[in-house]
Amino acid sequence: MAELVAPHLRYMASFLEALGEGHHRDTLRPETPEMIAEVAAEPDAYVASLLSPPGELILPDGRVGLAVPSTMLWQVEGETYLGWINIRHGLNANLEKAGGHIGYAVRPSARGRGHAAAMLAGGLDWVRANLPLERVLLTVNPANPHSIRVIEKNGGVHADTIDHPWRPGEQMMRYWIAL
């Protein structure tokens, strides 16, 4: 049975296989062979960076910004890595527009089997148990019907659709989920 766990080295071989399938470590940048090689060369450092994320990050436009505190969890089944969910403990002005409290991704070979919906449900349970939030914001591209269904299945209520702040010509749907 699949479960959400803290990132750990025991899942790294499967995680690297997922990256080789085209899985992404975040939703903004595609992986390159060089990036995958960096993770493979220093798996301890990569896992440590997930467990203690840096206080700053590089924004999509290349500027450096302050990172919002967050928790990364991996969905695994046995020793097999299935995907990730990142839970932000709060929002800044940028994340209120696009990004929201929760982001997630399922590796290509595990898609279509309900893992995203289960990850989001588990992530919402984690928020209820660990953060003083009454609701969470999720954002999604209107061209991603699978993720829209996952969000709606987990109680997401469509708030609005806005122009994407970093991707000219694209839009972003915003959903709130009451906790």
pLDDT tens across 51-102, in order? 998 887 777 678 887 889 999 999 999 999 999 999 999 999 888 888 899 9
pLDDT digits (tens, 9 = 90+) for 27-49: 666 788 899 999 999 999 999 99
pTM of the predicted protein model: 0.91
Print the domain residue range for 136.
Answer: 3-178
CATH number, domain of 109, equals: 3.40.630.30
Residue 177: strand pairing partners: 136
Residues 6+ apart with CB under 8 A from 40: 16
Tell me the C-alpha distance between 15 and 107, whole Å.
9
Sign of the C-alpha dihedral computed for residues 18, 73, 127 and 125 taken in this order: positive
As for how many domains the chain has, the answer is 1
- DSSP, collapsed to helix, strand or coil, labels residue 160 as strand
Contact 152, 97 (CB under 8 A): no
Tens digit of pLDDT for each residue in 106-148? 999 999 999 999 999 999 999 999 999 999 999 999 999 999 9
